[in-house]
Amino acid sequence: MSFVGPFGLSVRDRTLEADTQAGLTAVEEGLLEATKSDVPFITEAAQHLVRAGGKRFRPLLVLLAAQFGDPHAPGVVPSAVVVELTHLATLYHDDVMDEAEVRRGVASANARWDNSVAVLTGDFLFARASHILADLGPEAVRIQAEAFERLVTGQILETAGPRDGRDPVEHYLDVLAGKTGSLIAVSGRFGAMMAGADETIVSVLTQYGERLGMAFQLADDLLDIASDSHESGKTPGTDLREGVATLPVLYLRAQAEATGSADDRELCELLAGDLTDDGRHAEVLRRLRVHPALEQAREITIRYAAEARSMLAPLPEGPAKAALEGLCDAVVHRAG
């Protein structure tokens, strides 16, 4: 018997399985409680994405990191609720910025209501996360504030684009470190810290989370191009259609500029055109799927996952470490 978590992670130890399942159930209850309001409409809007589900990747990492101390310590589940609330809040805001119509298989909040409701609901979730944080102590508040600053900085950098002379790939990786790596790093940090693990272990799991977060987001980039909708749960090429230049596209542009290849330049021109046209969109996807740029991006993804795994070396052997290693393998599997 084993618990199967996000993207097929298998937890084979019965004690760890029981702790993880109980923890995730408690997190789910905490999310519903934290998104209740005396105003029924706010409750409906705030619980819209909670009830749509999701991988709960960040809470899972909190719970696994807590295994290196007391996994039942009172701050563990609330800190997992905090990171997921923060993540959900950013999704409401992202959907407004991206003008997205669907999120997690349901209408996005901005599509169901409007942009103002979506932005204010995101703000409401941030406020509720802060309320929970206040009970976890000033150190937790400081850590979350620093991560949130990094997250917002990453979003601003993405919006502004690379400054003149800056390598677009380096810029993009900096964006991801802020937007995704920061909060996943905090997930590892909070889990270990709230469980009372020693500082060395807290540091290890923070660095692990940062690298795993990068691999996790880069794997999503690859899935957007390489997978079918059944496999990824979303329509392939969504980022392409929205004009988001992910790592494979950046590598394609760099190669086109370096080699002057007519085929690469033509593909870049197609990418720059109107991809709301289904035929053009399908042609771009077909060509990108067999382009060396996709494999180049996959290698970077695998490198970050390998770095995350190597960070775990100082941790004691056992089911929790094996599960964290399994997360690295699961991310690589998605990228494959």
Mode of pairing for the β-strands spanning 10-11 and 102-103? unpaired
Pair (215, 226) in one structural domain? yes
pLDDT at residue number 230: 44
Q: Tell me the pLDDT of the chain averaged across its residues.
A: 87
Cβ within 8 Å of residue 309, ≥6 positions away: 325, 328
pLDDT at residue number 116: 76
The reply to whether 208 falls in a domain is yes
Taking the alpha carbons at both ends of the chain, their separation in whole angstroms is: 26
pLDDT at residue number 1: 33
Query: Rounded to whole angstroms, how far apart are CA atoms 80 and 64?
Result: 11
Domain count, the chain: 2
Reported confidence tier of residue 103, pLDDT bands at 50, 70, 90: low
26-58 residue pLDDT tens: 999 999 999 998 988 888 888 887 777 778 999
DSSP symbol at 38: S
Pair (102, 228) in one structural domain? no
Look up the domain containing 323 and give its range: 198-336
Among 145-149, 243-247, 266-270, the range scoring the smallest mean pLDDT is 243-247
The reply to whether 172 falls in a domain is no
Pair (187, 217) in one structural domain? no
Query: Rounded to whole angstroms, how far apart are CA atoms 124 and 220?
Result: 27
Four-CA torsion 205, 84, 298, 103, nearest 10 degrees: 180
* Residue 174 neighbours by CB distance under 10 Å: 17
Task: Considering only residues 94 and 87, tell me which one the structure prediction assigns the higher pLDDT.
Answer: 87
Task: Considering only residues 230 and 53, tell me which one the structure prediction assigns the higher pLDDT.
Answer: 53
Query: CATH no. for residue 290?
Result: 1.10.600.10
